[in-house]
Amino acid sequence: MEQVSSKIALVTGGSRGLGKNMALKLAEKGNDVIIVYRSNTGEAANVVAEIEAMGRKAIAIQLDTSDVSSFDAFFTALSGILQDKWGRSTFDFLINNAGVSRPSAFAETSEADFDELMNVHFKGVYFLSQKALRLLADRGRIVNLSTGLARFSTPGYAAYGAMKGAIETLTKYMARELGSRSITVNAVAPGAIHTDFNKESFENHPGMDEFISSITALGRVGMPEDIGGVVAFLCSEDARWITGQRIEVSGGMFL
């Protein structure tokens, strides 16, 4: 029988921005963390070092979450890492956070950008979650990242918002079908956040910060620190009776 001393969270896109804050908040709550990153080894290593400085275990693993053909090899490697580093065959929390931003007007969206958004934000999430099931512990948690743009519309995000709308529907189906294993599945939908992800949009649209602040009940643009704690809560025992839900974390945008 496995001796479980702590819970283990796997965070995709965990080397920076929202994913980094999620990873750190999960570690603050006493969880060990597996950081999944696409290309920036240095940033991923820095997050691992911060988590280890808290006294938690952490490791970084490279994966392109848009490449479904690589998932079998990834989970085979992860299985070995879990056994070697934790003496376990499972992990507890899957945070589907990896993302890319390709803003463009509906009339100007290229097929290449559409496909990239689809592969990262929907197809990748679908099959990464599917293939993770054999390593995800019963009573585990899955948190899918959506967006406020699935509720309200902002020109330039038709494809992105549509993918996240699909994620919200998928979340309900996953929650229903995985409930027999006591696995909860929820979607967290951030509003506008100051991260590298949105840097281009803020830089290309002067006054965007002021506009977003004006239509947000709490009067400012969000920060990564506003999101990570919500994800950590959904992975806590206090959230055990929440599943199939969309939780918007936008400070009250467009109320």
Which residues have a catalytic role annotated? Answer: 160
- Sequence-distant (≥ 6) Cβ neighbours of residue 215 within 8 angstroms: 253, 254
CA distances from 233 to 26, 228, 238 (A): 9, 9, 7
Tell me if 95 sits within 8 A of 11, measured CB to CB.
yes
CA distances from 178 to 50, 170, 172, 183, 250 (A): 33, 12, 10, 6, 28
Question: What tokens does 164 get?
Answer: 């996240």
- Sequence-distant (≥ 6) Cβ neighbours of residue 49 within 8 angstroms: none
Phi, psi of 94 (to 5 degrees): -115, 120
Q: Beta strands 184-190 and 136-145: pairing type?
A: parallel
